[in-house]
């Protein structure tokens, strides 16, 4: 389904998106609501961070963005539309060929666990050829020229092309994967935990690399990690996901200094700061079971501010400030749990 | 490259050692056998008519001297190795004085032609079908193949062979059930002979393929269904990489390495399997020769067959070993 309407600055528009894991064992149907009623949009030329604890549905959400879902995970409702230039496409309404045509050319994906995303028995050179030759539409000579220019821009030695994945270090492999995902200069890049399992020094390099590539291409990056400090460093806007729902969204600085959802307030407060000796407040309870989520606001069993209404009615996502939305009945009363000084300007 | 050559040299030395110990073990086993070739030969000759005891005793003395079985074991062992170096495996005792090598060489093309073809064919078909079945898990045809393979695989080989014999030789007699070629054709490079050889090979080959296919198919399917959930396959799919490239270079390519190891390990079983196959289908190969030799106490011939079998299996494993570092770059050669 390709249409040419709408003129906005959004690359991705998501409305009421629902993706559930649907499983049936012995006649008992079970559904896990990993992505539940998410409405958001990703703008051109921004880094959007998605934060949340483990099993909160972050990865399911961006897998849905990447049109990478497989049964049992399936779309249950809502819509998702990409806009690349004047090409508008809903991957779940388009044919497989149409979706394949935008992959890597317009939209690429940096997968979780980049240690194992490269075929162990093929040289990196073959991976570049398999992944990027078709979308770039160049002849062999121009293609390899473009690849080596791209590697040079990213400060990667050209010899990595002749290596096998196991011959590279973890950080190097991650950087090769980023190079692979950006060589076609896509408008939309999805990065799932690209810095997990890397030590902090390499992490910093990798983040800087993503930042640089994003700036150079002017693409949009959706970035998932549970590490709030990474978000603080790199994201322009952050969306907080809790139990499959988007609970708060706003510019990075606003979210860190003036969170308007109790869950965000706790996430921010849990960040360690040099010289801070105070005990970190922790939340009681565990993340809810997504197969049987609590009624009303999903955070209410653990929320210190919960009132009766929270247990029965789902709070809508409402705009409460410039670019700032929160899904909490008492959003106006939420205050930061710790007073942050000015957030550090240090951006990598 | 230098590493690789060193690896080849090291494996070649190992190969020679394996052949030496294997053949030596075969030598000892055959020479410790209680069957006396002289008595077997005398029984064969005297069975037809009456001989005077003196004549039999003379014959026994003559044969004993001729076969050289009075010598002590160690001197026979040394002589054996001295001759084997120049590829002389001594005369056969049942077909004295035809050299055992001649008999083996006459039987070898039949066995190798049948077994090598059947095994390689089975391995290729089983792995390709298994790989596709593992990747396209919802394909009806491949699911059907899976059910057939699973049903065939546990049936003992000889049962399958006999069922084939009964079905195609008796119930619906369309194929020859024994021998390597028909009596009325002249061996040589002529069409009637080649056609006859092929039609005689169908049943034994089919029995081997049917039994072997299931193992490779099921093994490969299991391997592939693991590999398709590997990150690198998912990632290639997400990148919209050509489907054929994914199946061939990402999925089957990665599963082929353990399957190749398994092939090397089953090569040894081929030569023991040939005994049953050739016996059931009266096929004129090494297996039939071996059984005749064992029954007649012809240890020279048994040894000749064993030596060829050991060398062939060790050689095949050697080749597979050399292929390993090429197929999987993670295997380093030191």
Partner-chain contact A134 B242, CB within 8 Å:
yes
pLDDT in tens, B235-290: 898 888 888 999 989 998 899 888 888 888 777 667 777 788 888 888 888 888 88
Q: In this prediction, does ipTM exceed 0.90?
A: no
Spell out, as residue ranges, where chain A has pLDDT lower than 70. Answer: 1-8, 114, 281, 338-348
* Runs of H (alpha helix) within chain B: 2-31, 37-46, 53-67, 73-85, 100-135, 140-152, 157-166, 191-227, 231-238, 243-245, 253-280, 286-295, 299-327
| Residue of A181, A171, A122 whose CA lies nearest to B238 | A181
Ramachandran region of residue A334, left (φ > 0), alpha (ψ -120 to 50) or beta?
beta
Q: How many CB atoms lie within 10 A of CB B114?
A: 24
Contact status, residue A33 vs residue A244, Cβ threshold 8 Å:
yes
C-alpha to C-alpha distance for A309 and A303, rounded to whole angstroms:
13
Return the residue in A121, A135, A173 with the most chain B beta carbons within 10 A, the one to mutate for interface testing. Answer: A121
C-alpha to C-alpha distance for A220 and B254, rounded to whole angstroms:
35
SS3 A77: strand
pLDDT > 90? residue B15? yes
A99 neighbourhood in chain B, CB within 8 Å: 240
- Hey, which residues does A79 pair with through a beta bridge? A15
Q: How many CB atoms lie within 10 A of CB B308?
A: 22
Residue B256 to residues A42, A224, B127, B129, B229: CA-CA distances in angstroms? 43, 35, 8, 13, 16
Q: Chain B: give the shortest CA distance to residue A274, in Å.
A: 38
Q: Chain A: give the shortest CA distance to residue B122, in Å.
A: 25
Q: What is the pLDDT of residue A8?
A: 58
pLDDT in tens, B106-163: 888 888 888 878 888 899 999 999 999 999 888 899 999 999 888 888 888 889 899 9
Query: Quick one: DSSP state of residue A115?
Result: G
Q: Name residue, tokens 């965000």.
A: A264
CA dihedral A62, A64, A69, A75 (to 10 degrees): 150
Contact status, residue A11 vs residue A189, Cβ threshold 8 Å:
no
More confident residue, B22 or B179: B22
Domain boundaries, chain A: 2-235, 236-348
SS3 B91: strand
Counting Cα atoms < 13 Å in the Cβ hemisphere of B269 gives 9
Q: Chain B: give the shortest CA distance to residue A116, in Å.
A: 6
Q: What is the pLDDT of residue A339?
A: 56
C-alpha to C-alpha distance for A255 and B25, rounded to whole angstroms:
79
Q: What is the mean pLDDT of residues B21-50?
A: 82
Partner-chain contact A103 B254, CB within 8 Å:
no
Q: What is the pLDDT of residue A7?
A: 46
Domain boundaries A2-235, corresponding CATH code: 3.40.50.300
Q: What is the mean pLDDT of residues B299-318?
A: 87
Q: How many CB atoms lie within 10 A of CB B226?
A: 12
Burial category of B135 from C-beta neighbours within 10 Å (exposed 0-12, middle 13-18, buried 19 and up): buried
Residues 6 or more apart whose Cβ sits within 8 Å of residue B283: B110, B114, B178, B179, B180, B200, B204, B277
Q: What is the pLDDT of residue A347?
A: 45
Q: How many CB atoms lie within 10 A of CB B315?
A: 14
pTM given for the model: 0.76
Q: How many CB atoms lie within 10 A of CB A158?
A: 12
Q: What is the mean pLDDT of residues B192-217?
A: 88
Domains within chain B, CATH numbers bracketed? 108-294 (1.10.3720)
Residues 6 or more apart whose Cβ sits within 8 Å of residue A314: A296, A297, A327
The phi and psi torsions of B186 (rounded to 5 degrees) equal: -95, 120
User: Tokens representing A180?
Assistant: 């692979």
C-alpha to C-alpha distance for A321 and A299, rounded to whole angstroms:
22
Q: What is the pLDDT of residue A5?
A: 44
Q: What is the pLDDT of residue A338?
A: 65
Pairing relationship of beta strands A318-321 and A324-326 according to DSSP bridges = antiparallel
User: Tokens representing A237?
Assistant: 């806007």
C-alpha to C-alpha distance for A56 and B225, rounded to whole angstroms:
28
**For chain B, percent of residues with pLDDT exceeding 90:** 16
Helices and strands in chain A, H and E counts: 9, 13
Partner-chain contact B239 A66, CB within 8 Å:
no
Contact status, residue B265 vs residue B241, Cβ threshold 8 Å:
no
Q: Which of B238, B250, B330 is facing A66, going by the closest CB pair? A: B238
Partner-chain contact B239 A104, CB within 8 Å:
yes
Q: What is the pLDDT of residue A343?
A: 45
């Amino acid at each position: 389904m390709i249409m040419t309407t709408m003129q906005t600055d959004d690359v991705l528009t998501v409305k009421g998106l629902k993706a559930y894991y649907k499983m049936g064992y012995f006649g008992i149907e079970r559904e896990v609501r990993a992505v539940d009623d998410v409405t958001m949009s990703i703008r051109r030329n921004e880094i959007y961070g998605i934060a949340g604890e483990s099993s909160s549905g972050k990865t399911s959400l961006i897998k849905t963005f990447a049109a990478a879902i497989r049964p049992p995970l399936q779309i249950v409702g809502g819509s998702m539309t990409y806009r690349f230039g004047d090409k508008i496409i809903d991957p779940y309404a388009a044919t497989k060929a149409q979706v394949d045509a935008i992959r890597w050319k317009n939209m690429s994906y940096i997968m979780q666990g980049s240690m194992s995303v490269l075929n162990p028995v093929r040289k990196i050179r073959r991976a570049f050829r398999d992944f990027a030759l078709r979308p770039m539409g160049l002849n062999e000579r121009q293609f390899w020229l473009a690849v080596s220019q791209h590697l040079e821009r990213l400060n990667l030695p050209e010899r990595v092309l002749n290596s096998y994945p196991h011959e590279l270090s973890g950080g190097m492999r991650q950087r090769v994967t980023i190079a692979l995902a950006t060589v076609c200069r896509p408008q939309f890049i999805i990065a799932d935990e690209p810095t997990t399992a890397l030590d902090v020094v390499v992490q910093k390099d990798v983040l800087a690399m993503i930042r640089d590539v994003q700036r150079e291409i002017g693409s949009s990056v959706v970035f998932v990690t549970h590490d709030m400090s990474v978000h603080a460093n790199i994201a322009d806007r952050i969306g907080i996901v809790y139990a499959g729902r988007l609970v708060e969204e706003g510019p990075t600085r606003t979210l860190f200094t003036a969170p308007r959802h109790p869950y965000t307030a706790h996430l921010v407060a849990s960040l360690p700061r040099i010289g801070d000796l105070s005990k970190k407040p922790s939340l009681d309870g565990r993340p809810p079971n997504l197969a049987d989520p609590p009624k009303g606001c999903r955070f209410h069993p653990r929320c210190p501010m919960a009132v009766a209404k929270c247990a029965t009615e789902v709070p809508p996502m409402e705009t409460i400030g410039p670019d700032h939305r929160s899904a909490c009945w008492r959003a106006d009363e939420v205050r930061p749990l710790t007073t942050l000084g000015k957030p550090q300007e240090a951006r990598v | 490259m230098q590493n690789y050559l060193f690896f080849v040299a090291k494996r070649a030395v190992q190969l020679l050692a394996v052949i030496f110990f294997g053949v030596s073990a075969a030598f000892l086993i055959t020479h410790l056998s209680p069957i006396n070739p002289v008595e077997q030969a005398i029984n064969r000759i005297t069975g037809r008519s009456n001989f005077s005891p003196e004549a039999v005793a003379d014959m026994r003395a003559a044969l004993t001297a001729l076969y050289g079985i009075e010598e002590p074991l160690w001197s026979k062992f040394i002589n054996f190795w001295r001759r084997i170096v120049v590829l002389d495996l001594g005369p056969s005792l049942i077909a004295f004085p035809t050299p055992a090598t001649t008999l083996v060489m006459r039987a070898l093309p039949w066995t190798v032609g049948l077994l090598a073809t059947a095994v390689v064919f089975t391995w290729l078909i089983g792995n390709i079908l298994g790989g596709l079945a593992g990747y396209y898990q919802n394909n009806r045809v491949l699911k059907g193949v899976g059910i057939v393979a699973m049903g065939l695989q546990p049936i003992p080989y000889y049962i399958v062979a006999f069922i084939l014999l009964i079905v195609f030789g008796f119930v619906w007699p369309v194929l020859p059930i024994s021998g390597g070629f028909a009596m009325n054709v002249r061996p040589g490079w002529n069409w009637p002979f080649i056609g006859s050889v092929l039609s005689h090979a169908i049943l034994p080959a089919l029995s081997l393929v049917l039994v072997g296919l299931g193992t490779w198919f099921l093994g490969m399917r299991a391997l592939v269904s693991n590999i398709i959930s590997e990150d690198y396959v998912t990632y290639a799919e997400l990148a919209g990489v050509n489907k054929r490239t994914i199946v061939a270079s990402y999925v089957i390519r990665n599963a082929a390495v353990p399957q190749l190891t398994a092939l090397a390990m089953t090569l040894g079983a081929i030569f023991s399997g040939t005994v049953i196959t050739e016996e059931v289908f009266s096929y004129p190969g090494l297996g039939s020769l071996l059984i005749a030799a064992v029954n007649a106490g012809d240890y020279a011939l048994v040894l000749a067959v064993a030596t060829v079998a050991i060398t062939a299996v060790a050689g095949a494993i050697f080749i597979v070993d050399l292929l390993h570092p090429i197929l999987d770059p993670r295997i380093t050669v030191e």
